[in-house]
Structure 1
């Protein structure tokens, strides 16, 4: 039985069969039809799969035949890729398009060079950083504006030995960089993973499926690169992470970047937070939950106006929260003791402190806490906000409008 590796033969068979029935199609049309028959979007994607399956013994120039090899190259203006990541590249510069075409004609590998200055249109060797990334081209799409979108997978770090624009586009001589052997640093890994989870939730970052298994792996380099790829940092700071070849030192630097100085609770939010604890204590609840906190935030001087500007019905929201707390949390009643904030409550506190630091607030406000609550998507509090159409997007817009009025 034929499979996708026989795609070209299948396309020819299809074309011949249709010809006998007085139906004429071009060779490229037959390739596209076979691609769809095999469940692949188009011929470019199927061709990439075919290419990945080949095991041809003759290595072209893009394979590491020695410590150094010549590659087609693409200069990146505002982006730093990390090994293991899959990402799109949008290509428009002529020399880059030529290099891209050359890469697709051969082994579909290129070097990504990171520009020092994004304003340079025709970079030379002096305009790029010393460390780049070898990437594999997976899928190509030509856009209506004449540019090209390329789905790309980063393979490994390389040292840039040269970079120049030639008649066939950008070329780079590069050599493979060997990372330091990974060391065992379980405490560092656990601490940084927890900090990054707060960071990702505060910024609404989507994490790959592999993240679910990071607490079971000891691949420090992979963990560090996954975090670095997603952190919102200037190009220079990201490049510094790319250039660190010791995985432990790379993760240590990420840990320091995530270890932002804790912002104190502002008087208003501190009062709101204590009101949430009182709401739990009055009902003799064992825990103070996000529902207690959100109920308190509906009366917070900073958060309540933002909720109203986001089209929340505060009266209905208070009623729904009160009903939930009184009925659904009745099983948490204890005879004696002080309510303890849940883990989700404490996560919101940490994210709120991080948001306050990044937005330049000297103290944590109720607005910070409101924004920090949205990542807790499984909580009834977040669902009640969603039921009223209150999303983080709407809240962010309301905050921006309020800030604009204050400046005006």
Structure 2
């Protein structure tokens, strides 16, 4: 089904079929029946969820409850919150501030809606995703620039029935959603536990409490949400996890996102890694270091594009790398054998996979490896990048503009 017109066609077919059996229902009754067959409370909700001008919609996989409630609401541009997590939010839109004031004057509960497009300044129902979060307001602090810092804690998923400005403040009518019954998932949880350790190490994420949480919790939904909260993903991918109401499917999706082997590597980057090993082998170096990798990256199409966007002199950088490899690594020369990647080389390669996922690249490219290299602050490679004006911030800005993405 692509939009609500398909549902209308289903309703018309249902009505005609019943007529042949001497059962007469109105068109509106047939629409309501089709809505309930699809697990949605009523036709108005289904029509809103499947509007033709709201592309890339992920519909809830569980039945919405029929009762609704009205809350103050706030739209978010660049964050997807999850239940049982605390988030600092920074808000400045007048309609949002008024909604927060209403929430603090009332029960301190607010609906958090996720915008489909960050550029929309005055979102309406068509501009936000169907599934949001009911959150509790903990702190409300004015800032010097006229905006506000709001500390919130996610309580539960809700389905948005309406989202609009009422009395100059955002309000949302929402229904609770059923997330189904959690099944035993000990083996899956064990695999995620192991892979998430690699993920946090690659990103430098400190989560001292989460390992105890894994030991004490066996709820697939809670574990999936706890991991999803800490993963760095594009907004669309994060929302996909929020909208997966089945706890097991959500946990399985988390496992897939943590599986490095599922992320394809671009042809150019694969060739770049081989070239780095060749640079070491030609010099009979025992190890392929980050400097060998960086030299190979200067010849990589996506990486060199990012470096040029940082106004780097690739010629001089290449000369410095060659001098370093020829003069500073003589003690690593061996008579026979092939070069082995150092632990730092392997860390950068692994980190590049996660960074590609984080920025939404379909393939891992050399540009991702370049950004991954900045974390190795003690390496001569990182110092040379700094010397030639290639910083992580400037590289990230270039990548955000689409530089180095490759064909994908």
Separation in 2, partners of 1:317, 1:277: 15
Aligned equivalent of 1:319: 323
Asked if the contact 2:351/2:372 (under 8 Å) is kept, the reply is yes
Asked if the contact 1:321/1:381 (under 8 Å) is kept, the reply is no
Aligned equivalent of 2:10: none
Asked if the contact 1:311/1:390 (under 8 Å) is kept, the reply is no
Aligned equivalent of 2:185: 183
Relative distance call for 1:179 and 1:294 in structure 2 (3 A) is same
Given the alignment, which residue of 191, 196, 204 partners 1:193?
A: 196
Is residue 2:207 matched to residue 1:210? yes
CA drift of 1:390 comes to 2.2
Separation in 1, partners of 2:300, 2:148: 47
Cα deviation, 1:208-228, whole Å, max 9, x if unaligned, reads x32785498345555533553
Asked if the contact 2:160/2:173 (under 8 Å) is kept, the reply is yes
CA drift of 1:369 comes to 3.9
Separation in 1, partners of 2:359, 2:128: 32
Relative distance call for 1:123 and 1:397 in structure 2 (3 A) is closer
Aligned equivalent of 1:243: 243
Separation in 1, partners of 2:400, 2:104: 45
Relative distance call for 1:189 and 1:111 in structure 2 (3 A) is same
Which of the two has higher C-alpha Rg?
1
Counterparts of 1:3-402 in structure 2, within 5 Å, are 72-76=71-75, 78=77, 79-83=79-83, 84-94=85-95, 96-106=96-106, 108-114=108-114, 121=122, 123=124, 129-141=130-142, 144=145, 148-160=147-159, 169=169, 170=171, 172=173, 175=176, 180-181=181-182, 183-184=185-186, 185-190=188-193, 192-193=195-196, 196=199, 201=203, 207=205, 209-210=206-207, 213-214=210-211, 217-218=214-215, 219=217, 221=221, 224-229=224-229, 230-235=231-236, 237-257=237-257, 260-266=262-268, 270=271, 272-281=272-281, 285-298=285-298, 303=303, 307=307, 309-311=311-313, 313-314=316-317, 315-327=319-331, 330=332, 337-350=337-350, 366-367=366-367, 369-395=369-395
Asked if the contact 2:303/2:366 (under 8 Å) is kept, the reply is yes
Aligned equivalent of 2:45: none
Cα deviation, 1:189-223, whole Å, max 9, x if unaligned, reads 0465267559x75xxxx74x327854983455555
CA drift of 1:247 comes to 4.0
CA drift of 1:103 comes to 2.4
CA RMSD of aligned residues (A): 4.8
Relative distance call for 1:75 and 1:340 in structure 2 (3 A) is same
Cα deviation, 1:34-73, whole Å, max 9, x if unaligned, reads xxxxxxxxxxxxxxxxxxxxxxxxxxxxxxxxxx896742
How many equivalent pairs are there?
Answer: 322
CA drift of 1:166 comes to 5.5
Separation in 1, partners of 2:327, 2:103: 63
Separation in 2, partners of 1:211, 1:382: 28
Separation in 1, partners of 2:173, 2:303: 53
Relative distance call for 1:255 and 1:340 in structure 2 (3 A) is same
CA drift of 1:82 comes to 1.5
CA drift of 1:89 comes to 3.5
